[in-house]
Amino acid sequence: MTVPTHVAIIMDGNGRWAAQKGWPRIKGHKAGVQVVERILEAASDAGVRHLSLYAFSTENWKRPPLEVGALMALLRMYLRMLVHQLARKGIRFHHLGALQGMPTGVQADMRALEEATAKNTGMTFHLAVNYGSRLELAQAARRCVEDGLSAEEINETSLGARLWTAGIPDVDLLIRTSGEHRISNFLLWQSAYAELYMTDLLWPDFSPADLRAALEDYTQRERRFGGI
Ligand code: IPE
Ligand code: IPE
Ligand code: MG
């Protein structure tokens, strides 16, 4: 079985999962966090080297303040708890997204977890919070200018090196839950040749067996990258 090096997941459907049960949306987010723990472990066990999870987009700030506040509080609780699980599995943590614009407590927790896991040599877990591909590309362009690059020096390599994903291989497999067939501003550049896998399952119902089914599906794909 060919294991994709980089798996990215758009974890969608927490709100609908809760609504189906007549519960407030935040209960769906709480259930979603528990699924993250299991999927982390399953991906690491399967031999995935990079796992990128989309937790909060630059557009998600549009949600009601009560939901945003609850999500940020949940995130901080989760980040603090995560250090033990990551240590056990030798997983390195990396934040994907703009630090600026997030509550300072979240910024500090992100940095602390990156530092605490920097020496781990297993899978890298990229958590996308306050992430948007368009913002990432715009800031990479700005950095090219700040670094004094000439027009001729701006190319796929120099721009790619200024993305938050610098040094990380492109996405091989992009999974989205909840039955939506869209990318929602996630890793647009990095997914240029990713295999897409959409499932109707809502994120809180997504299990390690479902991840393994997606990995299995990936092995059946024929990737061409524009060749023959
Ligand atoms: C995904 O679940 C998690 C976040 C975007 C924070 P949603 O909250 O988008 O759930 P639905 O799509 O409304 O069901
Ligand atoms: C995408 O889900 C963002 C995350 C999973 C964090 P959304 O629920 O925000 O996406 P749309 O609005 O349905 O496209
Ligand atoms: Mg959604």
Domain chopping of the chain, boundaries = 6-219
pLDDT tens-place values along the chain, 228 residues long: 799 999 999 999 999 999 999 999 999 999 999 999 999 999 999 999 999 999 999 999 999 999 999 999 999 999 999 999 999 999 999 999 999 999 999 999 999 999 999 999 999 999 999 999 999 999 999 999 999 999 999 999 999 999 999 999 999 999 999 999 999 999 999 999 999 999 999 999 999 999 999 999 999 999 999 999
- Cite the beta strand spans of the chain per DSSP E: 6-10, 50-57, 92-96, 124-131, 173-176, 195-198
Residue 9 confidence (pLDDT): 99
Structural contact between residues 87 and 117, judged by C-beta atoms closer than 8 angstroms = yes
Token duo for residue 95: 């934040």
Residue 124 confidence (pLDDT): 98
Protein residues with CB under 6 Å of any ligand 1 atom: 11-16, 56, 60, 71, 178
Q: Considering only CA atoms, which of 201, 204, 161, 195 is closest in space to residue 179?
A: 201
* Nearest alpha carbon, ligand 1 atom 5: 56
Ligand lying nearest the CA atom of residue 75? 1
Ligand 2: residue of 12, 96, 131 to mutate (most ligand atoms within 8 A of CB) is 12
Residue 1 confidence (pLDDT): 76
CA of 148 to the centre of ligand 3 (A): 39
- CATH for the 6-219 domain, from 2.40.160.10, 3.90.1640.30, 3.40.1180.10, 3.40.50.720: 3.40.1180.10
User: Dihedral (C-alpha) 184, 185, 190, 193: value to the nearest 10 degrees?
Assistant: 40
Burial class (CB in 10 A: 0-12, 13-18, 19+), 212: middle
Structural contact between residues 128 and 52, judged by C-beta atoms closer than 8 angstroms = yes
User: Which contacts (CB < 8 Å, 24+ apart) does range 221-225 have?
Assistant: 221/195, 223/193, 223/195, 225/193
User: Dihedral (C-alpha) 23, 197, 200, 18: value to the nearest 10 degrees?
Assistant: 0
Regarding the beta carbon of 179 and ligand 2, being less than 6 Å apart is answered no
Regarding the beta carbon of 184 and ligand 2, being less than 6 Å apart is answered yes
217 counts as catalytic: no
Regarding the beta carbon of 61 and ligand 2, being less than 6 Å apart is answered no
User: What amino acid is encoded at 61 in this protein?
Assistant: W
Question: pTM higher than 0.95, yes or no?
Answer: yes
